[in-house]
Amino acid sequence: MKIIGIDPGITGTGYSLVADGTCIDIGTIRAKGTDPHSKVLEICTRIKQIVDQQQPEFAALEKVFYHKNIKTLIRASELRGAIILALLESGVAIKEYTATEIKLTTTGNGRASKEQVRYFIERVFADRKQGESSHAIDAAAIAYTAIQKMSRRV
């Protein structure tokens, strides 16, 4: 089973492709320019390219439920909606998980820090060395969560 995990962010959108317990691709999409609409278009275009090349069976996204800065929350939600549309247009099924579910699945603690999640992901996907952005690590954690949750339902 191949899954793409996506961590939507207007400054950096992380993605990670996981297949058969191995991270086969990981990275961060950083859109150029300052216009938020152009950034959304660029990020979604790149996501579609990755999906077309890699043909994942599922996409996994983190559910957004709270953010301190309302403007950032709105921009992130707009981007998330555009990514969902791009995935649906590409025929990819979508799974969504809360931050607590992701932290609990990766570390055993639903209130784990970003550093704890990073430590776990870097150990699980040892073939991918340190140095990836926090967005890419979060995307890998999201993909890992999806695989774990879906394998338990079988």
CA dihedral 63, 144, 16, 81 (to 10 degrees): -20
pLDDT of residue 66: 67
Given a cut of 90, is residue 128 above it in pLDDT?
no
- Summarised one tens digit per residue, pLDDT across range 21-43 is 899 999 999 999 899 999 999 99
DSSP state of 2: E
Q: Tell me which residue range forms the domain holding 148.
A: 2-153
Residue 14 dihedral angles phi and psi, to the nearest 5°? -85, 150
Lowest mean pLDDT, pick from 57-71, 96-110, 135-149: 57-71
What is the residue type of 101? Answer: E
Average pLDDT rounded to a whole number, residues 2-30? 95
Average pLDDT rounded to a whole number, residues 111-119? 96
Where is 144: in which H helix or E strand?
helix 134-153
pLDDT of residue 129: 59
CA distance 138 to 134: 6
CATH number at residue 124: 3.30.420.10
- Summarised one tens digit per residue, pLDDT across range 48-100 is 999 999 999 999 999 876 667 888 888 889 999 999 999 999 999 999 999 99
Beta-carbon neighbour count of residue 111 at 10 Å? 10
Total domain count, the chain: 1
Beta-carbon neighbour count of residue 60 at 10 Å? 28
The rounded mean pLDDT for the chain is 93
Residue that wins the pLDDT comparison between 105 and 74: 105
- Tokens representing 50? 């990755």
Given a cut of 50, is residue 154 above it in pLDDT?
no
Radius of gyration of the chain (CA): 14
- Tokens representing 5? 């995990």
Task: Give the 3-state DSSP-derived string for 16-81, with helices as H, strands as E and coil as C.
Answer: EEEECCEEEEEEEECCCCCCHHHHHHHHHHHHHHHHHHHCCCEEEEECCCCCCCHHHHHHHHHHHH
